[in-house]
Structure formats: C-alpha cells, structure tokens
A and B are shown apart, each in its own frame.
Chain A
Amino acid sequence: MFKKLLIANRGEIACRVIKTARQMGITTVAIYSDADRNALHVKMADEAIHIGPSPASESYIVIDKVMAAIKASGAEAVHPGYGFLSENRKFAEALEAAGVAFVGPPATAIEAMGDKITSKKLAQEAGVNTVPGHMGLIEDAAEAITISGMIGYPVMLKASAGGGGKGMRIAWSESEVAEGFQASKNEAASSFGDDRMFIEKFVTQPRHIEIQVLADQHGNCVYLGERECSIQRRNQKVIEEAPSPFLDAATRKAMGEQACALAQAVGYTSAGTVEFIVDGDRNFYFLEMNTRLQVEHPVTELITGIDLVEQMIRVAYGEALPFTQGDIKLNGWAMESRLYAEDPYRNFLPSIGRLVQYRPPTEMATETAVVRNDTGVFEGGEISRFYDPMIAKLCTWAPTRSEAIEGMRNALDGFELEGIGHNLPFLAAVMDHPRFESGNITTAFIAEEYPDGFEGVTPGPDVLRRLAAVAAHMKMLKEDRAAKISGAMANHTRRVATDYVVRVGKTDFPVHIDETDFGTEIIFSDGTLYKVNSDWRLGDTLFKGQVGDVPMIVKTAFIPGGARLRYRGADLKAVVRTPRQAELAALMPEKLPPDTSNLLLCPMPGLIVKVDVAVGDEVQDGQALCTIEAMKMENILRAGRRGVIAKINANAGDSLAVDDVIMEFE
C-alpha cells in the first residue's frame, strides 16, 4: 500500500479522506492556503504544506503549487477530493508524468466526461439515455437566444466545466437567456477558469437520481445503488438520500447497468457518479458523469457498508475490487443534510464569519441508528468568504426511511451552531414536511413548497403545547434559583408561584406547575398533564428531555422578557408570566418593526461589483440595481417596487456588511 498520501483539497472532504487513510496506516499530507492556516484538515493531517494565498485560484487550484507540495512531501499518491483539481485533466496528467498515483480515474476518462458535450455524445454511443439539447459550444448571448428558441423553453444554461450549481442557470425567456448567459459565463470563468457554455432542454418535474459506480484497473465495475438528490435549491443539492424512495428494482438495475456501461466505455477506474434525470414515469436520462468522489457519498457508504475512499485508494494502488455486483446489498436508509452558511431567512444568502458555537450532535453507530457528521470546521473556526459555504454534512441511517428521517430531525435539533447565518432551520423544516416524508419529491420541491422563500416554521398545536411545557419547566427552575439569592429578608424568602400563562409565539397557555421528585408536571387548563423530565440546568443551551411521552431536544436561550426556543425549524419566543402579569402584558401595544421599504439593504457581506443605476433614475419593479459578489457568486439585487433613486451610498469596489444601506428610494 502507499506510504504517504497527499490530499489536494480542504474542508470536510480533506478531513474525510484523512480519516480513512489513517485507518489504512497511510501517512497523510494536507495542503493549505493562508485562510486555512488553522483549519481542521491541517490539524488532522500528519504533515501540512502551505501553498499560497487564500483565493483558491492562487492556491488550491494552481497545479504547479500543488505539484511542488507533492514533491516536497514525497507523497506517492494524491487524493483530490471533490471540486478544485479533482476533475482536472491537466492535473491528472502532471501526476502521471511525475509518477505519482492519482486517486481517481485516468486523465482520458476525466477529459471524456469533464466536457458535458463530449460526455453526452459518448453516453449516447454507450447506449445511455440522454436529454435533448444543443451539443455545440455557444459563442455569445445572441447565439444562446437563437438556440434556446430552437430547443424550446425552459432551457438550462450550463458551464461546460461546471458543477455544484455554479455557472448554471435556468432561463424561461429570451431576456433571461440574455441576462443569465453572461453572468453564467463570468461565474464559470472565475470558478473553473473555463467559460465555455452550452444549452439543453430543461426537463420539468424531474428527480435527480445518480448512480455510484466503482471500477478497478482490472476491468471490474460495480454500481453501488443510487442516491436521490432531488432536494435542491438553485441546482445546489441540499438533502440527499439513499436509496431513492422512487426507484423500483428494475429501474435501479437498468440505471446501474447503463452507468457501468458508460464507465467501461471510457476506461473508467475509481469511484464515479453517473447523474440521471428521472421523470414521473421512471424514464431516466443521462445528465453527466462526475469523475470524482461526490459530496453526498456518505449515504451510499451507510447503506452499502463500503468505505468509498478506501476503495478509491486501493484501486489507485492497483488492487482489484474485493466484491462483485452480486455482493452489493443495500441495507436500510440513509439521509444527508448539507449544512450551509446560508441564511434561509434572507433568501439563503451566504453568511461568513466565526463559528462562535459549533456543537454537532454526538456521532454514534448502533444496529438500529447511525449519526455521522462529516465536517471541516470546529468551534472558534471560521467560514471564509474564499470557499464553499458548506459547514458540515450531517448523515443519519436507520433500517427504514421514516426512522432515518426521525433520526435526522433529532440530530438537527441537537446541532448547535451560532455566529453565522445557516440553513439548519430550513433543513429541519424540510425533514418535517409531509411531502418530503411521503417521498413525493422532485427537483422543484423547494421552489414549489417555499415559493416566497423560507419564513420559519409555525408548529402545530401539539408541538406548541409541548414547547409551552418546556418553557414552563425552565421558568420554574429559573424562579427557584432566583429565590435562592443571598440577602433576602429573614423569614420572608420569596414564594415561587405555580400558576402561569405561557405564551409561545402568539398562543397563550394557562398552566399550573407542580414540582415532583422527577421534574415538573405541567397541567394545562383543559386538564392535560405533561410530565417534564430533563437534566437541563440553567445556562444549558440544549434542553434534552421527556415531555409527556415525547423525547425532545430544544435549543434554549434566555432573551429579554422570556426565552427563545428553537425546535424542528421553528424559532419562537416563549414568555412565562403569572396570570396578573399576563393581564397587564395584554395592555401593551404591539410594536411594528421599522419601515425599511424605501431602503435597499445589503443582504449579505460582500463586494459591490457594479451599481447599475444613478441618483434620480426611475426604476421598475424587478430592475437590476446592483451586483454583489459573495462566495464567488454574483448576486443581482433588484428593485422590489417602482421608484426613484434618492441616494446611493455605495460604489463599485466597496465591501459591505449585512444591512448596510446601499441606496435609498424617494
């Protein structure tokens, strides 16, 4: 086996590869940029080599720098992770020339599959079903419009070298093609250093289902079942699962065999993924092949019991696969939630900064449940503006889909994350969504179910009641402690009240609280009794306990006037008052948030790339006002209504923080 492996990546995937390599007894070498000096992958690796400034374009994707690090470290093999140089033919060739093993497919396979146009042709030739589209490269927006007209709307504009949603846009009209083409091209250039574009038909109501293949250098190729990745936002996968709730055995087999046929047609080795679009009738079309380890590979590992990274390394070393297709059994169900530093309450805009609190749920693995968290960060670490905003991949496994979902709900409830905006509440909301639970999902799920964005979750009456019981329990402990302060009048120590009105969100629950040896008993006005049993103590940020017959994990914090409770995607203020206090509180006026409708506020920290309007301009609803670059994505901010620009406070090149006023309307 290899003695030393260099991981040409960062973040969670670098950590993931290091874990397996270490188990295999291989010495690991990390590379890092300026921004990653204190990163987790650097700490975990046996050795670490600095390779340049923070932007990936000056460090992680500079082949010469990575090659120099390989040479300096004496690594015999390189695992590229995903993204960066993982599907870069030149890098694979450079390694070949240097006599260093690439833990991935041969350069020829990367080249064949790396170009979406070529790959589609090859797929067709290999007998794989494909989607209609224009196979040539597109020069400019005008040509893009012509071709789109021929294919028929909606169309998908795609960067030839693209992936992960970058450089990819759906256009429903000529004007959207005109606008999106250049933006996609720019993104492609900045993300991949390759701005070639192509267009294909956008299949409506599709599911995204992909097949994991694994091939060795001895001509063996197996498929390890599928992953359903239909829960996507703007083509960015959010939740993945394996197996798919939609496929039957016959379709799975057909897709798997086509995937292997394609892999073998291009002389593929290592782990690879063949992505398909599947329509409602289980027709499937080839989308692309990813010649690397996928972000969502853990769900496959969880249902097959195969460590994909280990197999990749063994294949690269020249070993034959230790199993055949017949040995592959899919066992149970796995879910993956991608935690992103994206604020769901601000239309998922990227958020960067310090992880003031980062406490994932405890990883565990038993016969009936697994919790796995792949991450590259730690409490006190930083989500940098230079890289992908992914914080962690939280996975759960259980014998059935519904148990895996329930496991994920609990894992998300127990995941503490503060300091940056993140999509945890959104993930929790999806996990609790009846349509998701039913498995009746498409790639349009998020767009259809959250058309106006995500505004939090309003829990049902039962959950509200149980949260009220939690709040009452907390209040009791708080009052008990408050009464124990020193300096109280002798013989006049304070009696703690037992009757309260608990307001959760906007609902009032009159309750009576009894303290027992085991906790508290909360009795609601209709006589229902909830026993609350928990070892929660004041100051704990996580309430774990039994509320009635339901175990609950609730994030708690005291805020002025009450407590903040977060549970299953809901974020509520709970106030516990005596009946008299509640009576007086009812007299208080409801305060409305300040009116910011005549301001354009900066929705995310970022750099103003371009201001499209000037003072005095009259703008229409939806007109582009300025462009902000954050996380390598160009975001166009648009007018929310008709108006006249009164004042502009920011210019191109300015770095802005969240809620900075960019411009004011009259």
Chain B
Amino acid sequence: MKDILEQLEQRRADARLGGGQNRIDAQHAKGKLTARERIELLLDEDSFEEYDMFVTHRSTDFGMAASKPRGDGVVTGWGTVNGRVVYVFAQDFTVLGGSVSETHGAKICKIMDMAMQNGAPVIGINDSGGARIQEGVASLAAYGEVFQRNIEASGVVPQISLIMGPCAGGAVYSPAMTDFIFMVKDSSYMFVTGPDVVKTVTNEHVTAEQLGGASTHTRKSSVADGAFEDDVEAMSEVRRLIDFLPLSNREKPPVRPFYDDPSRVEESLDTLIPDNPNMPYDMKELIHKLADEGDFYELQADFAGNILTGFIRLEGQTVGVVANQPMVLAGVLDIDSARKAARFVRFCDCFEIPILTLVDVPGFLPGTTQEYNGVIKHGAKLLFAYGEATVPKVTVITRKAYGGAYVVMSSKHLRGDVNYAWPTAEIAVMGAKGATEILYRSELGDPDKIAGRVKEYEDQFANPFVAAERGFIDEVIQPRSTRKRVCRAFAALRTKRRQMPWKKHDNIPL
C-alpha cells in the first residue's frame, strides 16, 4: 500500500517537472516563469487544486507515440484569490511548446465547464506555439471547442486572458473573446499571421514585437487592455483586478472594508475646471479624488486616451468609471474612444457593476477619416451600450456636454438614474461660437455683432440650468461634494431593478 502512495507522489513529481529542468531553465532564461510558477503567483498560497495532471495525448502520427509528457502542455485546475474561487489554465511552453492538442483542449474545456457551472471566473494563461501540427484537424477541433465555451461563458463568468509568450494564429481568437487581455512587455506577442507569412504575402518586413508585441496591442490595436513589466507584476496586478470583479453574473460585485469617508469633501475640485473653457484639465484627478482611497484600476490606459475606463470602489463596492479626458483631443468622442468605452460599459452591465460616467465632451470628432471608417456605427455602439445597460447609472457633467455626444454619455434620456451637473457644466447643442455662426449667418461679416451673439448664447445656454429646468439634470451639485453625492446615489440605487423587454439578444451595431 505504502508503495502505491509513494508511486503517486513520484508520478506527480514527474508531471510537475513539465518538459524537464532544461526546458524550465530555458523558459527562465527568456525572462518567463513556468506555467506552475505563474499559477503559484496568481493564487493564494497552497490553494491550487490541479486537475488532469496525468492526461496525455493520444496521437501516434509523426512519432508522437514516443513522447507522451504528462499534462500535455497545459496545467489546469482551480484555486482562490483572496479566498474567492477562480478557475485557471496555464499553457506550459516547456511541454511540446505548449502546443494545443485534442487532449490539451479538452483539459481547458473541462475547467471552463466547471467555472460556468459553479459560477467562478476563468483565467487563461497563454504561452503556446500554436496548434499541434501532428494532430492536424483534431487540434483545430480543440480550438473550436474552447472558442465555443468562451462564447458561452461570455457574460456568465468573467474571463481574463494573460498573454505571457507566443499566441499566434487561430489561438488568438480564444483570448480575443474573453473580457480582458493582458500582456507582458517584451516577452509576449499575439498575431493572426506571423512575420514570415506577412513578409511572403505583403512584402512587409516586421518583427514579432512590432507586429504583435505588448506595445502594439495596448497602443495601436487595442486588442490588449494592459501590459505589465514582467510575469511577477502581471500576476499581482491580475489579483488586484479580480478583487474588483464579481465571480459570476449570479453575484453582486464584491465588497470589502474601506477606510475612506464617503462624505469626504474635496475643496480642490472647486477649481478643477479652468477659467478658460479651452484649457484642458486632468479628469483622472477627479476620478482619484472620488474613489475610495484614491484607487483607480485603469483599463486600456494607452489607447484612445480621450476616454478613460476602469474600476474604482465607492464605499467598498466596485464601480465602473467611464470619463471623457479633456487632456487628450479635448475629450472628443471618436471611433476608438466609442469602441473602448462601449465594450467596458457592456462588461459592467453583464456583471452588475454600477457605472459612473464623468462627462466633458465637446462632441464627435469630425473628418473624413472618422466618417470613412464608420464613426456612425462605432459611435452608436457606445450609445447602444449605455441605453441597454440596466445597472445603476450615475452621471456627473463637469463641463461640456454638447450635441449628440451629450445624449450618448449616459444621459437621462438613456435612462441614466441620477444625473448631476457641476455649476460649470454647459449642456447645449453645440459650443457658443459654432451655434451663433449657424444661427446668425447673416451677421458673420460683423465681428462685433457676432461677439455679442456669442456672449448672448453663452449667457443663455452655456450652463446646466436649462437642462435642469427640464429635469434632464436631477441636481446641480458643488464639485467639492461630488464624492458624497455619488456615493449616496449609488447607495440608493443598490436595490435598482430594471429589465429590457424579452428578446433573444439585441443587435448592437458591431
């Protein structure tokens, strides 16, 4: 009997070595940790329960029968992050390059099914050379099965992807369908076709890093939501993110003790808006000063900086923040910012995370680039996302809220629950100058007259009171008391219940 128990330990030890010490050393030499090391950093100490450690592939072609490493290139199981259950799979590059076989895929599918059934997030750590070519279509089928589960799990449990090595070809489409993608700088890349094929087909010379490195995907393509310095930082920051998220759509977002006065008065916010309406200011300051303990988990920080998205806590409870950023392109809405914010709003709505919207938007960005690329439909995504979101929605207009963009940014008309405005707010069809030039076209030749008209328009419309008179703004508030107002609003909305009419699903303009 004792022998058998010892044998188990021996088998486990073998399996844990993955591709062997040489390959582990090679992985380390690349500045990367192994699959098990990554899981160790991600989960609470000693909380990992591994499944399918002894799974091997069944392929016999191309001499594969001779090499049947245990685990088959992916480590799967579950554990806890600060005591809360998460499911995890981590591709093991030391075993057959982390390539995806039928059984490798099946292991991932197994924990995804468990996660969905039990209502816990899935965290996928991607570090794989791609399909296991020796298995041919069986490998593709495995991807397909994972894809299908990504789709089914979408909106049921949060799915987080970490790209911590190569992720190429069809493999990219699993992370692509998850809620968040994070990369590690200098050691990860993802693309549909690699540099060699690119060169053959389009004659472009490009490195893997240029084509699909962390910088490319966080700044240019917006495929990734963030990038971290190294594996260790990545794991600690993902833990931080998980603390913001509910485990599934059956649960409310988590709450934890907080040490910040919900009625904290921030006098400095009274001077946040510059005297000159054309001067920018940093909307992040407002977010930091509203949030519990100044803690803001920003997503897509390096992309479409004209809109900010991320999580804060108010009274210990997660709130998603969407905010126009006047520091970048005057906070204008454009294709990129609308797409970025729309996806974030929909994530929040999926998982019952209330949404705080901070508005200073001069309108939509004009131009052929925008129109030719479909700003109409992309802008509509954000409009649609806000309109369909049934979670508590609180809006604060700090300065400009012009035209269609005013309506888009969680206005009362899109069923904003509580809509506040600062006294500096200007809620109007457009800025004073533009409006007078249309209204008084005949006086355009006379600058004095036009200046008078601009002044007249400003006095009449460049304020929150016209909107407040109609009830489109629930209350004009002092900037300094914004935290208290917003906290109270969300507290009152905790019992909000609202449903959209039954439908199979909506048809958001993709």
Chain A contacts to B: CB under 8 angstroms? 37-38, 354-356, 358, 378-382, 419, 481-489, 492-495, 497, 537-541, 558, 560-561, 578, 580-581, 584-585, 587-589, 591
Contact = CB atoms under 8 A, between A and B. Distances in A.
Contacts of A381: 271
A493 B285 CA distance: 35
B80 A588 contact: no
Contacts of B40: 580, 584
Size category, B interface: 35 or more
A493 B37 contact: no
B83 A494 contact: yes
Given A380-B268, A486-B256, A589-B31, 20 more contacts: A38-B271, A38-B275, A356-B268, A356-B285, A358-B268, A484-B256, A488-B84, A493-B83, A494-B47, A494-B80, A539-B293, A560-B228, A578-B45, A581-B41, A581-B232, A584-B33, A587-B28, A588-B231, A591-B186, A591-B229
Interface string B484-508: 0000000000000000000000000
Interface in B379-425: none
A489 B267 contact: no
A489 B81 CA distance: 10
A582 to B, nearest CB: 9
Contacts of B80: 488-489, 492, 494
A484 B269 contact: no
A644 B120 CA distance: 59
A485 B255 contact: yes
Given A537-B259, A561-B236, A587-B33, A485 B294 contact: no
A514 B96 CA distance: 45
A588 B83 contact: no
B292 to A, nearest CB: 7
Nearest to A353: B282
Interface of B: 28, 31, 33, 37, 40-41, 44-45, 47, 80, 82-85, 185-186, 228-233, 236-237, 243, 246-247, 251, 254-260, 267-272, 275, 281-282, 285, 292-295
A229 to B, nearest CB: 33
B230 A37 contact: no
Contacts of B243: 482, 485
A485 B85 contact: no
Contacts of B285: 354, 356, 419
B270 A380 contact: yes
A358 B232 CA distance: 34
18 contacts: A354-B281, A378-B267, A380-B267, A380-B270, A381-B271, A419-B285, A483-B82, A485-B84, A485-B255, A487-B246, A487-B254, A489-B83, A489-B84, A539-B260, A540-B259, A580-B40, A585-B232, A588-B231
Nearest to B289: A356
B268 A485 contact: no
A489 B186 CA distance: 36
A41 B243 CA distance: 45
Contacts of B256: 481-482, 484-486
Contacts of A581: 41, 232
Given A487-B84, A488-B80, A584-B232, A561 B272 contact: no
A593 B269 CA distance: 35
Enumerate the 10 nearest inter-chain pairs by beta-carbon distance, A residue then B residue, closest first. Answer: A380-B268, A539-B293, A488-B83, A589-B31, A494-B83, A380-B271, A537-B259, A588-B230, A485-B256, A379-B268
A561 B237 contact: yes
A243 B186 CA distance: 57
Nearest to A582: B232
Contact of B31 (A358, A580, A588): A588
B82 A482 contact: yes
A560 B238 CA distance: 10
A396 to B, nearest CB: 26
A72 to B, nearest CB: 23
B259 A487 contact: no
Nearest to B239: A482
Contact of B44 (A382, A484, A494): A494
Given A487-B247, A493-B83, A560 B259 contact: no
Given A588-B31, A588-B232, A497 B45 contact: yes
A355 B268 CA distance: 9
Contacts of B82: 482-483, 485, 488, 494
Nearest to B292: A539
A486 B45 contact: no
A538 B80 CA distance: 23
Nearest to A380: B268
A578 B41 CA distance: 10
A388 to B, nearest CB: 20
A661 to B, nearest CB: 17
A584 B230 contact: no
Given A486-B254, A539-B292, A560-B237, A492 B83 contact: yes
A21 B269 CA distance: 30
Nearest to A536: B259
Nearest to B244: A485
B437 to A, nearest CB: 27
Contacts of B260: 539
Contacts of A540: 259
A382 B28 CA distance: 49
Contacts of A560: 228-229, 233, 236-237
B351 to A, nearest CB: 13
Contacts of B257: 481, 484
Contacts of B292: 539
Given A485-B243, A539-B292, A581-B41, A379 B83 contact: no
Contacts of B251: 487
A540 B270 CA distance: 22
Nearest to B275: A37
Given A494-B80, A584-B40, A486 B255 contact: yes
Contacts of B229: 560-561, 591
B288 to A, nearest CB: 8
Contacts of B185: 591
Nearest to A539: B293
B247 A561 contact: no
Contacts of A486: 254-256
Contacts of B230: 588-589, 591
A114 B261 CA distance: 55
A494 B270 CA distance: 42
Nearest to A591: B229
Contacts of B268: 355-356, 358, 378-380
B254 A539 contact: no
B293 A538 contact: yes
B83 A485 contact: yes
B273 to A, nearest CB: 11
Contacts of A578: 45
B299 to A, nearest CB: 14
Nearest to A540: B259
Contacts of A584: 33, 37, 40-41, 231-232
B127 to A, nearest CB: 15
Contacts of A585: 232
A69 to B, nearest CB: 21
B259 A379 contact: no
B37 to A, nearest CB: 5
B283 to A, nearest CB: 12
Contacts of A493: 83
A132 B265 CA distance: 59
Nearest to A537: B259
A382 B251 CA distance: 45
Contacts of A488: 80, 82-84
A538 B259 contact: yes
A482 B229 CA distance: 23
Given A354-B281, A494-B82, A539 B259 contact: yes
A494 B84 CA distance: 9
A374 B5 CA distance: 75
B254 A485 contact: yes
B237 A489 contact: no
A587 B231 CA distance: 10
Contacts of A483: 82-83
